[in-house]
């Protein structure tokens, strides 16, 4: 007999992502976009649409059976409606905000950021659809998608084109590096004989952080470079010191604090 849990769940009760890092990345990316926006109204509208899209990810994964077959049978219809409703509401809000921008919507830098966010966001949806969203590559794509949406918040809010572009590069790079650092730390922590690359992943991550920061320094000035150095460097160093689960939690809290600190650089 198939479970009928969905009939007893209120329609408004969502299933939420359990990854704390994803919530931190979402909050930081949106706050970064809002911080540099010069028109807070449109920026807040896009931010609300982004939050709704983020909330649609987990119901979609449950509906597709990627969390468990039991949950798909029990909650599938409800979660499908939730995912569709959240995505549709986000689309309506986003389109309304963009239409109200009038001629500003057709400026090349706005179109560029929308296209970039659409492509990366589409790739992130594909990772959820194919059950790759919790792999290292899937989480890196999701991190870059969140950063690209933060850049959309900035550019729709009237931020200068270069500022929005640097926001995308700095935060997507920082989030991606931190995601890889955390995965390497988990492998080293949970394996009795971790591979060589996992034991020393912090070193190439630190090198990539330094070189990428120099590139951003030449293109966009000190704020994006310092953001990448602070956040990416903290992730790389955190991967070097993790030995036990409680160390991983402490590193996660430290990374969140560094991200908040980096917001004040913009």
**207-218 pLDDT per residue, tens:** 999 999 999 998
On the question of pLDDT at 10 being above 80, the answer is no
On the question of pLDDT at 3 being above 50, the answer is no
CA-wise closest residue to 227 among 157, 181, 162, 178: 178
CA-wise closest residue to 19 among 144, 126, 171, 179: 179
For the domain 16-159, what is the CATH code? 1.10.357
Q: How many helices (H) and strands (E) does the chain have?
A: 10, 0
To which H or E segment does residue 7 belong? none
Are residues 168 and 116 in contact, defined by beta-carbon separation less than 8 angstroms?
yes
Query: Within a 10 A sphere around the Cβ of 241, how many other Cβ atoms?
Result: 12
In this predicted structure, what is the pLDDT of residue 56?
Answer: 92
On the question of pLDDT at 6 being above 50, the answer is no
Delimit the domains of the chain by residue range.
16-159, 160-266
Range from 132-136, 141-145, 240-244 that averages highest in pLDDT: 141-145
In whole angstroms, give the CA distance from residue 75 to residue 147. 31
- Residue with tokens 């010191």, as numbered in its chain: 241
Query: Within a 10 A sphere around the Cβ of 122, how many other Cβ atoms?
Result: 11
- Percentage with pLDDT > 90 across the chain: 60
Range from 9-18, 58-67, 116-125, 233-242 that averages highest in pLDDT: 116-125
């Amino acid at each position: 007999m198939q479970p009928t849990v969905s009939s007893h769940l209120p329609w408004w009760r969502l299933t939420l992502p359990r990854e704390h890092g994803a919530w931190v990345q979402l909050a930081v990316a949106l706050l970064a976009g809002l911080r540099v926006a010069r028109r807070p109204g449109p920026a807040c509208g896009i931010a609300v649409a982004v939050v709704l899209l983020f909330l649609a990810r987990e119901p979609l994964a449950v509906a597709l059976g990627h969390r468990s077959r039991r949950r798909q049978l029990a909650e599938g219809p409800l979660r499908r409606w939730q995912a569709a409703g959240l995505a549709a509401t986000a689309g309506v809000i986003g389109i309304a905000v963009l239409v109200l921008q009038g001629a500003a919507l057709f400026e090349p830098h706005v179109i560029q950021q929308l296209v970039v966010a659409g492509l990366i966001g589409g790739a992130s949806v594909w990772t959820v659809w194919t059950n790759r969203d919790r792999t290292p590559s899937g989480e890196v794509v999701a991190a870059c998608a969140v950063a690209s949406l933060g850049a959309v918040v900035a550019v729709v809010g009237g931020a200068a084109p270069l500022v929005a572009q640097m926001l995308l590069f700095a935060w997507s790079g920082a989030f991606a590096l931190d995601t890889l650092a955390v995965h390497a730390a988990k492998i080293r922590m949970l394996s009795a004989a971790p591979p060589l690359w996992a034991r020393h992943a912090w070193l190439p991550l630190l090198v990539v952080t330094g070189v990428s920061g120099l590139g951003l320094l030449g293109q966009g000035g000190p704020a994006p470079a310092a953001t990448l150095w602070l956040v990416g460097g903290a992730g790389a160093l955190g991967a070097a010191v993790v030995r036990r689960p409680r160390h991983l939690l402490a590193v996660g809290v430290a990374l969140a604090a560094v991200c908040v600190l980096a917001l004040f650089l913009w």
